[in-house]
């Protein structure tokens, strides 16, 4: 037993609301308002975790986001969550937590053998060994290394919780609700601006709780409550439990609100966390500062803690972190903390200060309270492995850095360490220049802003309360002024009594090693002072090399307590100053953020929107298996009882060849092109001519990219002199529209054309087969689709039932076929009307597989052939390209590689041994050899009664009739094939011209 609950005090806890919780299966008790860390400390728990590399026993070291040691696994089952900082986890009834990175138990961890072997495991040891005879040695060793590494365990179960996203817009965002942030928000809000105040903690106030000052005669807690009330009155949005983790370009900040992490479970319909994208005109960074530890032998023993944390646990939670406490400091914070704790009833054994002298007032008060003070002294070592049992206090010469005589070796169960303050410059650095070194603080303060922010308070190096309050108010006023706000009523600064002054450190951060014990700089990653020296010795001297070679600052705590000490040590080793060594770059996130919160709702089924045609439900009701086509869903085939996919598509394709079928093509991209220059525009876009297309006719066209490669194909229907309806492939609907808009707006602004996407204005279906005309005519209440009125490529208008339809006689299948367009909401009615009219002809719908079969039989291309590398000539459409006009890509098509005779060109393949050809096969000579080309599309052709394919074959145009193999080495398959013309069926097109 070590820590305990003090009989009184604790501004955050509710003494009449006890909670029970479990840690490593053990039932414990805490209070509402506790963190898991404070509850564990109150329960006398010292050993809480194990470190990353050496599995050293560790206890709670902080009371905030910087916690490096007390990481736990929280919750169970699918909500299991590793690496949670016990100092940030609010206690709730029934909380379950477990220690991590230990086996079999926290107290007895087999992996602690690493600590015994630590002389081997110096920084970068793995680069020097495990090579043996090569890859096999490394792969063998790596398995063990991987198991030993990592911290907590994750789960493979899907996260059951929900995350939400919102945007917030404000004039002034204040980050941090400590004294500076509260004043900044007050000042900004006084001008009537929209102000948001976000703080990562459950309760606003920051370090004010520990300062000990009274403000306007109020206690800190009362003053904070009063300020919050005032802020609310001024309409400030106060966001507790909200961590602003990232500062992006354009004054966009990312924040995560922990909505339900402090509850056993989120309420029904409540998200676990909410991501906020905050758009602020000005930002005030009042992000505070984090206390630094000191570097000395055994400084990681459970029971060694930051002084500010020892005080915070007492002030906020009414917890004494030990029964016998020693304080070790290089600044006034040590003595102050000791005095404050003593006043709260915590037993202080001694104050050890590196400095030869401390302010006389502090020394006198310590004396008056009977607290022993050792100046010019250090804690040279600690005793106790799983719990601190005592410290060795020795004299110290600050000038030479040498240890002096033994002074005392008191027993103690807590050691509070105060090494000075590190401003939290994370956000400022993300959105500004490199941080600047401040000699007084012996740390870095924000550099110059790139975005519209002002830093204030401890974050800007203002360590005393008066400066924080004034700095906050000034920053708030400046932000308001920058937003153009008039003079508001200036909030008065509170009258302070008993405020602490700035705690500037004496510039000594480390104590020489004693007895070979390790001196930790980065606690979580077990990086020691020796590792930093080794890094320097081996030439890894730049601060980035130091980080990467030793992994310093790369643990889950991101070096919040270690980076500045490490820079000081490296600076000394290199004979440079700390600013010459510099910092690594700060990047988002400031503290680790749940990945689910950043994903929000756009995951799982909602990862992407799902687009459905108006006939979607009909398809499902009639046996269709749907498949994704981009974000659209399309029927693959309509299955009848007992049918396989092949049965279904063969039946459907046969039906089209022998009778009539109907296919939903609503997903085609559709673009309305209007204007006096519409024809000229399309003439430039398409490789073939469109200028002379008569009104009332449609034409197939192919567009190229500027580099002469095929981009998209489709049809354009000339509805009027100045109006075309352009269709695109499903996949390219968006890109073709953007392409058109680019040329119209940027390249050829003189063209009088406007384009509008009408993809979901029109439902579309194609009726195909020799009975198509008969069925369509029967369905038409108005309109004529006879060969005379609507010849091949003709357009007709009509009505089906009450719905107007637009018809173009186009064929993708090679059969007589019509595309029927109608208003999107009428799609289902028109679809059903066509099916009904086709009953005598035994019409049925067909899906993508049959569509594929029909087009392969005809040698028509799709995206599989237009794969972004092929030319018109490659697919046999070279003759289509106009020689008489320039078009996009025309000048590029005669470049050497485009006319290389060895280019793969499209051919047909017929399986000669009756075996199916697999898509993705490569063509080789019979018996094998190098790839001569590849197969793009395959089918069983009911019309040819053969397995056929489309393929690209090097120099293929002259190789029709050759016997090759379609090789599929992935499955050890080879199919004998004969090369043919890619148009297998009805090459003269007579069937669609009937």
Partner 1 sequence: MQKYSALSLLKNAFSGHRHWQPAWRKAEPKPAYDAIIVGGGGHGLSTAYYLAKEHGLTNIVVLEKGWLGSGNIGRNTTIVRSNYMLPDNNRFYEWSMKLWEGLSLDLNYNVMFSQRGVLNLAHTPAQLDDYARRGNSMRLEGIDAELLGPSEIAALVPGLDLSGSARFPVVGGLLQPRAGTARHDAVAWGYARAADARGVDIVENCEVTGFLREGERIVGVTTTRGEIRAPKVGVAVAGSTSQVLALAGVSRLPIESHVLQAFVSEPVKPILDGVVTFGAGHLYISQSDKGGLVFGGDIDKYNSYAQRGNLPVVEHVMSEVTAMLPFVSRLRLLRNWGGIMDMSMDGSPIIAPGPLPGLYLNAGWCYGGFKATPASGWCFAWTMAKDEPHPLNAPFTLDRFRNGASIDERGAGPYPKMH
Partner 2 sequence: MRIDCPCCGPRGVAEFSYGGDGTLRRPDLATREAEPFSAYVYDRENPRGPHVELWHHIAGCRHWLRVTRNTLTHEILGVEMAGRFAGDAARIEGQGA
Q: Give the dihedral sign, CA 751/753/756/757.
A: negative
Q: Is 430 in the site for partner 1 (CB under 8 A)?
A: yes
Which residues in the 745-774 window bind partner 2 by CB under 8 A?
A: 745-747, 749-750
User: One symbol per residue from 441 to 480: x for binding partner 2 (CB under 8 A), - otherwise; what is it?
Assistant: ---------x------------------------------
Q: Is 884 in the site for partner 1 (CB under 8 A)?
A: no
The owner of tokens 């990681």 is 300
Closer CB to partner 1, residue 256 or residue 830?
A: 256
Which residues in the 683-702 window bind partner 2 by CB under 8 A?
A: 684
Closer CB to partner 1, residue 150 or residue 401?
A: 150
Which residues in the 203-262 window bind partner 1 by CB under 8 A?
A: 246, 248-249, 252, 254
Q: Are strands 904-911 and 973-980 parallel, antiparallel or unpaired?
A: antiparallel
Of partner 2, partner 1, none, which one does residue 971 interact with (CB within 5 to 8 Å by kind)?
Answer: partner 1
Closer CB to partner 2, residue 281 or residue 634?
A: 281
Of partner 1, partner 2, none, which one does residue 1 interact with (CB within 5 to 8 Å by kind)?
Answer: none
Closer CB to partner 2, residue 107 or residue 891?
A: 891
Q: Give the dihedral sign, CA 784/785/786/790.
A: positive
The owner of tokens 């609301």 is 17
**Smallest separation, CB 639 to partner 2 (Å):** 38
Rounded Cα gap, residues 5 and 309, in angstroms: 15
Rounded Cα gap, residues 536 and 569, in angstroms: 10
Give the residue among 964, 885, 862 at the shortest CA–CA distance from 923: 964
Of partner 2, partner 1, none, which one does residue 396 interact with (CB within 5 to 8 Å by kind)?
Answer: none
SS3 state of residue 718: strand
Rounded Cα gap, residues 695 and 120, in angstroms: 84
Q: Is 895 in the site for partner 2 (CB under 8 A)?
A: yes
Q: Is 484 in the site for partner 2 (CB under 8 A)?
A: no
Closer CB to partner 1, residue 603 or residue 912?
A: 603
Length of the chain in terms of residues written:
994
Of partner 1, partner 2, none, which one does residue 555 interact with (CB within 5 to 8 Å by kind)?
Answer: partner 1
**Smallest separation, CB 685 to partner 1 (Å):** 16
Closer CB to partner 1, residue 376 or residue 596?
A: 596
Give the residue among 792, 874, 854 at the shortest CA–CA distance from 986: 854
Report in angstroms the alpha-carbon separations of 10 from 70, 357, 498, 617, 744.
21, 33, 19, 62, 69
Report in angstroms the alpha-carbon separations of 709 from 308, 714, 854, 891, 937.
67, 16, 25, 11, 20
Closer CB to partner 2, residue 120 or residue 747?
A: 747
In the β-sheet with 698-704, what is the strand arrangement from edge to edge? Answer: 698-704, 710-720, 723-728, 669-674, 754-757
> Where does this chain touch partner 2 (CB under 8 A) — which range of 51-59, 247-255, 259-267, 617-625?
247-255
The owner of tokens 């398995």 is 143
Of partner 1, partner 2, none, which one does residue 135 interact with (CB within 5 to 8 Å by kind)?
Answer: partner 1
List of residues 6+ apart from 593 with CB closer than 8 A: 243, 245, 254, 256
Q: Is 910 in the site for partner 2 (CB under 8 A)?
A: no
Of partner 1, partner 2, none, which one does residue 970 interact with (CB within 5 to 8 Å by kind)?
Answer: partner 1
Of partner 2, partner 1, none, which one does residue 891 interact with (CB within 5 to 8 Å by kind)?
Answer: partner 2
Rounded Cα gap, residues 552 and 525, in angstroms: 7
List of residues 6+ apart from 211 with CB closer than 8 A: 179, 220, 465, 499, 500
User: One symbol per residue from 491 to 510: x for binding partner 1 (CB under 8 A), - otherwise; what is it?
Assistant: --------------------
> Where does this chain touch partner 2 (CB under 8 A) — which range of 93-101, 642-650, 839-847, 889-897?
889-897
> Where does this chain touch partner 1 (CB under 8 A) — which range of 302-310, 625-633, 680-688, 983-991?
625-633
Which residues in the 515-554 window bind partner 1 by CB under 8 A?
A: 530, 534, 537-540, 542, 544-545, 548-549, 551, 554
629: enclosing H helix or E strand: strand 624-629
Q: 538 is written with which tokens?
A: 């081996």
User: One symbol per residue from 248 to 267: x for binding partner 2 (CB under 8 A), - otherwise; what is it?
Assistant: xxxxx---------------
Closer CB to partner 2, residue 181 or residue 708?
A: 708
Q: Is 744 in the site for partner 2 (CB under 8 A)?
A: yes
Closer CB to partner 2, residue 400 or residue 894?
A: 894
Which residues in the 951-980 window bind partner 1 by CB under 8 A?
A: 967-971
User: One symbol per residue from 705 to 744: x for binding partner 1 (CB under 8 A), - otherwise; what is it?
Assistant: xxxxx-x---------------------------------
Q: 489 is written with which tokens?
A: 């009523």
Of partner 2, partner 1, none, which one does residue 741 interact with (CB within 5 to 8 Å by kind)?
Answer: partner 2
Of 905, 935, 948, 949, which lies in the binding site for partner 1, with binding defined by CB under 8 A? 935
Q: Are strands 26-32 and 14-23 parallel, antiparallel or unpaired?
A: antiparallel
Angle between helices 563-574 and 529-537 (to 10 degrees): 40
**Smallest separation, CB 894 to partner 2 (Å):** 7
Which residues in the 545-604 window bind partner 1 by CB under 8 A?
A: 545, 548-549, 551, 554-556, 558, 585, 587-589, 592-596, 598-600, 602-604
Which residues in the 182-221 window bind partner 2 by CB under 8 A?
A: none
Closer CB to partner 2, residue 509 or residue 686?
A: 686
- What is the chain's Cα-based Rg? 38
Rounded Cα gap, residues 421 and 192, in angstroms: 35
Of partner 2, partner 1, none, which one does residue 747 interact with (CB within 5 to 8 Å by kind)?
Answer: partner 2
Of partner 2, partner 1, none, which one does residue 745 interact with (CB within 5 to 8 Å by kind)?
Answer: partner 2
**Smallest separation, CB 883 to partner 1 (Å):** 19
Output the CA torsion 787→788→792→796 (10° steps).
-100
Rounded Cα gap, residues 853 and 653, in angstroms: 7
User: One symbol per residue from 267 to 296: x for binding partner 2 (CB under 8 A), - otherwise; what is it?
Assistant: ----------x-x-----------------
DSSP letters along 324-344, please? Answer: SEEEEESSHHHHHHHHHHHHT
DSSP letters along 909-971, please? Answer: EEESSSPPPPTT-EEEETTEEEEEEEEEEEEEETTTTEEEEEEEEETGGGGTT-EEEEEEGGG
Strands (E), 345-494: 348-353, 372-375, 377-383, 390-397, 402-408, 414-418, 421-423, 436-438, 443-445, 453-455
**Smallest separation, CB 705 to partner 2 (Å):** 9
3-state SS record for 364-387 = HHHHHCCCEEEECEEEEEEECCCC
Of partner 2, partner 1, none, which one does residue 279 interact with (CB within 5 to 8 Å by kind)?
Answer: partner 2
Q: Is 931 in the site for partner 1 (CB under 8 A)?
A: yes
Which residues in the 132-161 window bind partner 1 by CB under 8 A?
A: 133-135, 138-139, 142, 145-147, 149-159, 161
Which residues in the 266-285 window bind partner 1 by CB under 8 A?
A: 275, 277
Closer CB to partner 1, residue 191 or residue 936?
A: 936
**Total Cβ atoms within 10 A of residue 97:** 25
Question: In the chain, what is the straight-line distance between the N-terminal and C-terminal CA atoms, in Å?
Answer: 97
Rounded Cα gap, residues 382 and 375, in angstroms: 18
Which residues in the 644-673 window bind partner 1 by CB under 8 A?
A: none
Interface positions with partner 2 (CB under 8 A): 248-252, 277, 279, 450, 684, 706-707, 738, 741-742, 744-747, 749-750, 886, 891-892, 894-895
């Amino acid at each position: 037993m070590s820590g305990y609950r003090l009989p009184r005090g604790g501004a955050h806890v509710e003494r009449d609301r006890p909670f029970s919780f479990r840690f490593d299966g053990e039932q414990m008790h805490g209070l509402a308002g506790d963190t898991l860390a404070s509850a564990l400390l109150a329960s006398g728990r010292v050993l809480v975790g194990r470190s990353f590399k050496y599995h050293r026993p560790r206890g709670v070291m902080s009371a905030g986001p910087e916690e490096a040691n007390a990481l736990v696994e929280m919750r169970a089952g699918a909500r299991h969550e590793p690496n949670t900082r016990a100092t940030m986890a609010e206690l709730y009834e029934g909380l379950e937590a477990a220690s991590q990175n230990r086996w079999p138990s926290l107290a007895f961890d087999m992996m602690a053998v690493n600590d015994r072997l630590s002389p081997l495991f110096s920084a970068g040891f793995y680069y020097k060994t495990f090579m043996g005879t090569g890859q096999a040695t490394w792969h063998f060793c790596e398995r063990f290394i991987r198991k030993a590494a990592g911290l907590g365990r994750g789960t493979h179960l899907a996260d059951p919780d929900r995350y939400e996203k919102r945007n917030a817009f404000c004039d002034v965002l204040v980050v941090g609700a400590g004294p500076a942030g509260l004043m900044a928000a007050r000042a900004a809000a006084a001008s009537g601006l929209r102000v948001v105040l976000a703080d990562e903690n459950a309760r606003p106030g920051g370090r004010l709780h520990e300062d000990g000052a009274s403000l306007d005669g109020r206690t800190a807690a009362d003053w904070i409550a009063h300020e919050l009330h005032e802020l609310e009155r001024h309409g400030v949005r106060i966001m507790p439990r909200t961590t602003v983790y990232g500062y992006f370009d354009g004054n966009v900040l990312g924040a995560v609100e922990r909505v339900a992490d402090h509850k056993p479970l989120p309420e029904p319909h409540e998200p676990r966390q909410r991501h906020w994208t905050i758009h602020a005109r000005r930002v005030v960074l009042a992000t505070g500062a984090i206390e630094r530890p000191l570097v000395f032998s055994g400084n990681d023993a459970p029971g060694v803690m930051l002084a500010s944390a020892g005080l915070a646990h007492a002030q906020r939670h009414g917890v004494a972190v030990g029964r016998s406490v020693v304080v070790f400091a290089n600044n006034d914070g040590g003595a102050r903390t000791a005095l404050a704790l003593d006043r709260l009833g915590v037993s202080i054994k001694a104050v050890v200060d590196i400095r030869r002298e401390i302010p006389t007032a502090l020394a006198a008060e310590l004396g008056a309270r009977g607290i022993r003070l050792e100046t010019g002294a250090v804690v040279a070592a600690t005793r106790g492995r799983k719990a601190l049992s005592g410290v060795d206090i020795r004299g110290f010469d600050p000038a030479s850095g040498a240890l002096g005589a033994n002074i005392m070796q008191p027993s103690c169960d807590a050691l509070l360490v105060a090494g000075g303050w590190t401003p939290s410059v994370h956000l400022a650095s993300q959105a500004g220049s490199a941080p600047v070194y401040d000699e007084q603080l012996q740390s870095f303060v924000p550099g110059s802003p790139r975005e519209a922010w002002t830093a204030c308070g401890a974050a800007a190096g203002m360590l005393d309360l008066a400066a924080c309050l004034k700095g906050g108010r000034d920053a708030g006023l400046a932000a308001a002024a920058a937003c153009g706000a008039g003079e508001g009523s200036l909030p008065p600064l509170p009258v302070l009594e008993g405020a602490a002054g700035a705690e500037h450190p004496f510039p000594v951060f480390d104590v020489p090693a004693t007895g070979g014990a390790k001196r930790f700089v980065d606690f979580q990653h077990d990086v020691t002072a020796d590792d930093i020296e080794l890094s320097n010795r081996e030439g890894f001297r730049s601060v980035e090399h130091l980080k990467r070679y030793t992994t310093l600052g790369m643990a889950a705590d991101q070096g919040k307590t270690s980076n500045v000490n490490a820079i000081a040590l490296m600076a000394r080793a290199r004979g440079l100053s700390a600013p010459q060594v510099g910092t690594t770059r700060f990047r988002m996130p400031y503290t680790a953020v749940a990945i689910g919160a950043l994903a929000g709702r756009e995951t799982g089924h909602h990862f992407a929107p799902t687009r459905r045609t108006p006939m979607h439900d009909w398809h499902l009701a009639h046996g269709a298996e749907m498949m994704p086509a981009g974000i659209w869903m399309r029927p693959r085939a309509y299955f009848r009882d007992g049918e396989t996919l092949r049965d279904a598509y063969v039946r459907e394709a046969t039906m089209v060849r022998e009778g009539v079928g109907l296919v939903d093509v609503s997903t085609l991209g559709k673009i309305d092109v209007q204007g006096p220059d519409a024809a000229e525009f399309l003439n430039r876009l398409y490789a073939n001519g469109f200028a002379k297309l008569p009104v009332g006719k449609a034409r197939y066209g192919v567009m190229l990219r500027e580099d002469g490669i095929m981009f998209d194909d489709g049809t354009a229907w000339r509805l009027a002199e100045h109006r075309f309806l352009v269709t695109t492939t499903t996949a390219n609907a968006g890109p073709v529209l953007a392409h058109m808009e680019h040329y119209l707006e940027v390249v050829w602004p003189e063209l009088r054309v406007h384009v509008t996407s009408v993809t979901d204005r029109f439902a579309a279906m194609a009726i195909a087969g020799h009975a198509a005309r008969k069925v369509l005519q029967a369905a038409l209440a108005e309109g004529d689709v006879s060969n005379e009125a609507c010849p091949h490529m003709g357009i007709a208008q009509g009505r089906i039932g009450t719905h107007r339809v637009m018809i173009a006689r186009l064929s993708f299948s090679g059969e007589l076929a019509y595309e029927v367009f109608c208003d999107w909401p009428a799609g289902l009615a028109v679809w059903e009307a066509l099916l009904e009219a086709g009953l005598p002809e035994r019409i049925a719908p067909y899906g993508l597989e049959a569509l594929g079969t029909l087009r392969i039989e005809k040698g028509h291309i799709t995206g599989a052939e237009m794969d972004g590398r092929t030319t018109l000539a490659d697919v046999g459409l070279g003759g289509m390209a106009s020689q008489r006009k320039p078009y996009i890509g025309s000048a590029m098509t005669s470049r050497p590689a485009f006319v290389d005779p060895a280019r793969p060109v499209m051919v047909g393949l017929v399986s000669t041994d009756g075996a199916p050809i697999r898509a993705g096969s490569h063509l080789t000579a019979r018996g094998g050899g190098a790839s001569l080309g590849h197969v793009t599309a395959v089918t069983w052709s009911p019309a040819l009664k053969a397995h056929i394919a489309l393929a690209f074959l090097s120099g293929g145009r002259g190789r029709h009739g050759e016997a090759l193999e379609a090789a599929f080495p992935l499955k050890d398959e080879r199919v004998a094939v004969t090369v043919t013309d890619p148009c297998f069926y009805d090459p003269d097109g007579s069937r669609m011209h009937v």
